[in-house]
Structure 1
Amino acid sequence: MEISVRSGDTFDYYSRLFKIPLRLIMDSNSNTILTKIKPADKIHIPGYASVPYAVREGDTFEKIAVRSGIEIDALFLLNQSKDANHLMVSEKIFVPEKVMVPFGTTETPLDYKRLVKFIKYLKRTYPFIEVSKIGSSVLGNSIDEIRIGKGEKKIHMNASFHANEWITTMVLMNLLNRYLLAITNGLLIRGKEPLALYEGVELSIVPMVNPDGVDLVLNGPPNHLRKDLIEINEGSEDFIHWKANIRGIDLNNQFPANWDICRKNKKPKSPAPRDFPGIEPLTEPEAVAIADLTEKNLFHLVLAFHTQGEEFYWGYEGLEPAESEVLAKELEKVSGYRAIRYVNSHAGYKDWFIQKYQKPGITLELGRGINPLPLSQFPSILKRAEEIFLTAITY
């Protein structure tokens, strides 16, 4: 919610008026010179929406404020051009409303365009988050990172490496949304103050690594690539099980962690709906974007959200640190997912991260069934994923 500064207003006053931590207000206005705010400056108040309201017979600012559960000066602040002593029936004013429920639907898959809309809503409502482009897909879609928190402990999570695992984007975005609600509403997280987590953890999220592939699965092929994609798809026009990026390369087989072994072991030797690792590591812009992001940051932990199997993998060739086992046992306990240390797999993002940095990396396999998992599983998947998410940010 955006407001205009009045003479004498301060950030501290806005914090008390709207019951929002001062740190969040300051971080939401980091481009403003905090010591020199002046009348008419535009200021963002996180966790609020400005809701239109039609004045009713007998309404006064005081009555509206009481009915809305807000301070009367919040109404004055948001309606500075109005004559509060002469409200007219049907006149439109604006009421600040605390955001208390998650945004979006859990009944419609998130394709790239819907994801962009979701991210824009979160940035508008929670302007203390940072949204940045870390790269572009083959077709030029932006691969975005959402960053929240200012702490020294840096955690990265990503989703939809694989196109037919698009439900992971929904899961991760909903978990982020719930986390933001907890922070702005002061809801305890595993007994911890949310502001303390915000100040102690820097969370990096890339909700859709493979936007072209997700759109292919959900919306079908773009016209100019239709013929080529059908050929890669062995003549089929059904792309529901497609796993690769738009060029038929499996992004989670693209990382330089024994990539040669991966290429030798994988059956496809040319572009395919799944499993082809490419002609060499890190040829695909989506994989490069994630690798570059990881190399530029000293993440202490990474979690890659995949489906399916109700299990997770946490080791790679004995290079994982001792703390990985401690974390794995806790995640197994809270989620009910089976913790697996080693699998005969190479060239994945988690493999590369552990090999390169010797820090905890985890590949999550949410849900059970055949990909893409049906939306009917979403509530149960989200519930168990939330336990994993909360454990990761609080451990």
Structure 2
Amino acid sequence: MYSEQSYRYADLLEGVRQLSGRYPFLSSHVIGESVMGKPLLALRCGTGQRRIHMNGSFHANEWITSALLMRFVADLSAAYCSGEEIGGQRVADLCREVTLWVVPMVNPDGVELSQEGLSERHPYYRQLLEWNRGSAQFEGWKANIRGVDLNDQFPAFWEEECKRRGIESPGPRDYPGPYPLSEPEAAAMASFTDRMGFHAVMALHTQGREIYWNYRDYEPADSEQLAKKLARASGYEAVKLSGSDAGYKDWYIQRYRRPGFTVEAGYGENPLPMSKFDHIYMELQPLLLEMLRL
């Protein structure tokens, strides 16, 4: 389902094709398109009344999160169809109570750029070189293809985030855009979330082995305890974060007053290499399973 060096948008499409063909338990849905017209895919697992959402690759150079989520979806689907357990949990029972919706790759254009670099045929060739300060090295690129940080795009004290970032033009990272939800990827995520009415959400990022659970005191009273459950499952640290706005988790918590989490998986320097995949997944799988039990 992925190459040894990276996890590409093409790998995602092939993984979705294989899994949806093998497991009737799983279905795929298009929730929008990227700037470059790539379909943004959401995978549905389960039939329960409680709706949980997970997403990955908001940031381009954090593409390993897409592979991690796809592995979890594959494990969940296999265990459901075979009647087996994961971590002592009978998946068939769990998925009668919960429906999991996963958007594995929010930022496919940015992922492609960070992995494959820039060709002269790219429609944004000149702008991207300029936004990257003339460098042809894009491994550290976090933004979408228009140089907007998708996790600074949400209408949760967005103006405060603009002041804090102090970046007024497109670039590799930290530009919140000209206005909230200006980018089709962020707008698609907001619309999808509003449409589905999730009971809890988790945005998967890298790196740091931390779990952020709060937002300006809008979070429910039990959010810290829930984060500590996730921390115990994974060995990660539950952290009360301040000085950050306009993220997906921030917006969700403020809008719905429901539990939202940002999980920083793994440790090292982004992009984390696929050589760390198995180790990160061993830590992360119990956390993802615990998220379904919240």
* Fold match (TM-score > 0.5): yes
State the secondary structure of the residue aligned to 2:118: coil
Which deviates more from structure 2 when the two are superposed, residues 380-389 or residues 158-167?
Answer: 380-389
Q: Which has the higher contact order (CA 8 A, sep 6+)?
A: 2
Query: Following TM superposition, by how much is the alpha carbon of 1:320 offset from its aligned partner in structure 2, in angstroms?
Result: 0.7
Query: Following TM superposition, by how much is the alpha carbon of 1:227 offset from its aligned partner in structure 2, in angstroms?
Result: 2.0
Where do 5+ consecutive residues of structure 2 fail to align? none
State the secondary structure of the residue aligned to 1:299: coil
Q: Find 1:361's aligned residue among 260, 269, 276.
A: 260
Q: Is the 8 A contact 1:317 1:342 kept in 2?
A: no
Matched, 1:155 2:52: yes
Letter in 1 for 2:141: W
| Equivalent residue number for residue 14 of structure 2 | 117
Cα distance change on mapping 1:189 and 1:114 into 2, 3 Å: closer
Equivalence map 1:1-395=2 (5 Å): 104-105=1-2, 107-222=4-119, 223-224=121-122, 225-395=124-294
- Poorly superposed stretches of 4+, deviation over 6 Å: none
- Hey, what's the Cα distance between the residues in 2 that align with 1:105 and 1:227? 31
- Hey, what's the Cα distance between the residues in 1 that align with 2:5 and 2:20? 21
Query: Following TM superposition, by how much is the alpha carbon of 1:106 offset from its aligned partner in structure 2, in angstroms?
Result: 6.3
Cα distance change on mapping 1:214 and 1:333 into 2, 3 Å: same
Q: Is the 8 A contact 1:313 1:343 kept in 2?
A: no
- Hey, what's the Cα distance between the residues in 2 that align with 1:111 and 1:348? 24
State the secondary structure of the residue aligned to 2:229: helix
Query: Following TM superposition, by how much is the alpha carbon of 1:105 offset from its aligned partner in structure 2, in angstroms?
Result: 4.2
Query: Following TM superposition, by how much is the alpha carbon of 1:332 offset from its aligned partner in structure 2, in angstroms?
Result: 1.2
Where do 5+ consecutive residues of structure 1 fail to align? 1-103
- Hey, what's the Cα distance between the residues in 2 that align with 1:146 and 1:265? 35
- Hey, what's the Cα distance between the residues in 1 that align with 2:257 and 2:272? 32
Letter in 1 for 2:143: A
Q: Is the 8 A contact 1:111 1:214 kept in 2?
A: yes
Letter in 2 for 1:217: S
* TM-score with structure 1 setting the length: 0.72
- Hey, what's the Cα distance between the residues in 2 that align with 1:105 and 1:113? 9
- Hey, what's the Cα distance between the residues in 2 that align with 1:317 and 1:106? 40
Q: Is the 8 A contact 2:211 2:237 kept in 1?
A: yes
1:228-256 CA distance string (max 9 Å, x none) = 21111000000000000000000000000
Q: Is the 8 A contact 2:153 2:181 kept in 1?
A: yes
* TM-score with structure 2 setting the length: 0.96
Cα distance change on mapping 1:106 and 1:367 into 2, 3 Å: farther
Query: Following TM superposition, by how much is the alpha carbon of 1:192 offset from its aligned partner in structure 2, in angstroms?
Result: 3.3
- Hey, what's the Cα distance between the residues in 1 that align with 2:114 and 2:166? 22
Q: CA RMSD in A?
A: 1.2
- Hey, what's the Cα distance between the residues in 2 that align with 1:252 and 1:196? 34
**Identity between Structure 1 and Structure 2 (%):** 47
- Hey, what's the Cα distance between the residues in 2 that align with 1:305 and 1:191? 23
Letter in 2 for 1:388: L
